Structure 1
Amino acid sequence: MRIPAALRGENRLMMWLFTLFAATILLSIERPYLAIDALLGGVNLANLLLRFFIYAVCLLLAVRIARAFGSRGAEQALYGPWGLGALGVVAAGTVASFLLMGLQPSSVGLHEGTDEVWFGVYAALGRVYPTFTGVVLIPSLFRATVGAALPALRVAAGLIGAGYTLLIFTNLFPLMPLSWVPVMQTMNYSVLLLLFAGLTVIWVASLQARRRAASAPRRLTR
């Protein structure tokens, strides 16, 4: 659905976002994961690739949200030296911890047989960069929640802000007992639902704005 608009030069950022998000879903499914990992040597390089896809999704999603709310400061922070530096540090740490926990035969969960300490570092780094993007966005989302001119934008900012706030709390997962796994899963899925619910509200509001703009000339000609 996004390709025709992208070929016309319209919102190519969203096409790349959807493409990368589809790739992360594909690599989260067992059979595609095992097939792709086999092509990469069968040592879970597909999981490392999945992590970088997630980092790219988080960056593009944050940039899209910053643009939706007109936050030039947040966009520059994400693309600027500090933002790209944070991405570089997390990426280097992800590769290093992946290698240090030991190469193992293909496994979607990537936990069986791996070094527990370095697996913990690898898992924690997977939450650090998404959290960083949320921390960058939360101030502008708060301002939009209380001060946006359109009610739909206030609702969208509240939903997205709640999603990123919940994402920050996922960094407490290492402190939670194993019996809390259902709670962790609920938090992860809630983050996604809140973020995409907010984006959906923005999309619906943009469609309504286009329809009003398109009907305005017809009303004037009458």
Structure 2
Amino acid sequence: MSDWIAGILAVIFTFLAIIRSPSVLHDQAKVRLWLAHLVMALALWLSVTPVYMAVDAVLGGRNIANLVSHFGFLVIFWLGGAEVALGLGRHDLYRLVHGTIGAMVLGAGAAAMAATFIAAAPEYSAMGLNPFRDDPLIILYKVLSYLYPGFVAAVLARPMLRASADSPGLLGPAKWWMAVGFMLVPLVPVAHLGELLHPGYAMVVDLVLYPAIIMVATGATLAFIARLKINRDASPNHRQQAEHTD
């Protein structure tokens, strides 16, 4: 991911995490979503080359920062997927992504991802592991890192798209953007597999991954704005002001 795109998205999610912090102190139910935004911000900051290189140097200069960022994305989909499912009122989907099946996919994917990273043993710090993409183990590591996110996105994309049509105000566009972004996520590991056939598929990965992150970030931002407006309209002071104006 280019540094300026990653930087902009990191700033957005950092802002969302900071602005949500006060509400978390008063409503424990919002902790999961706040943590998802916080971890997303940290993972995106690790996608900025100077930040990545500095952090990885502290961790030993062997791309542990890359592994940390991929574990971060697993946490994001574990937390965020649960919140999205509950937000849709779909407890069946919540049990699927956050229950036994989801835990098995997450655990197996995370263990296999870590094992392939250790086996590949990239020798020096490199953003995106780009110099090592001719190693099949590195490609497999990247594929496995999207196993659980792809599973969660595939489960939630269609219900989210349907819900967007019936949601009021900005919540409709917010869900639509997130749904389309989710649709792209399962294509990322497929594109990575293509790299085993030809290195040029690395460009396909970028063409799928960048829009997916941008669309999900757009949806999350619109949803936050929509919730602020809903809370403002529901506040007693706002109702009194509206009655006084009438």
Q: TM-score, normalised by structure 2?
A: 0.78
1:131-210 paired onto structure 2 within 5 Å: 131-146=150-165, 148-150=166-168, 152-173=170-191, 174-175=193-194, 177-179=198-200, 181-210=202-231
The answer (yes or no) to whether the contact 1:74–1:140 under 8 Å persists in 2 is no
What is residue 31 of structure 1 aligned with on the other side?
A: 50
Deviates more, 1:193-202 or 1:173-182: 173-182
Deviates more, 1:53-62 or 1:148-157: 148-157
**Counterparts of 1:140 and 1:125, CA distance in 2:** 25
* Number of equivalenced pairs: 221
1:34-183 paired onto structure 2 within 5 Å: 34-113=53-132, 116-146=135-165, 148-150=166-168, 152-173=170-191, 174-175=193-194, 177-179=198-200, 181-183=202-204
Deviations 1:52-111 (A, max 9, x none): 011111222222222322222222222211111110000110011011112412222324
Gaps of 5+ in 2: 1-17
TM superposition shift of 1:194:
1.4
**Counterparts of 2:73 and 2:106, CA distance in 1:** 12
Q: Secondary structure at the match of 1:42?
A: coil
**Counterparts of 2:226 and 2:168, CA distance in 1:** 9
**Residue type of the partner of 1:49?**
V
**Counterparts of 1:182 and 1:103, CA distance in 2:** 21
The answer (yes or no) to whether the contact 1:26–1:32 under 8 Å persists in 2 is yes
Q: TM-score, normalised by structure 1?
A: 0.85
The answer (yes or no) to whether the contact 2:161–2:180 under 8 Å persists in 1 is no
Gaps of 5+ in 1: none
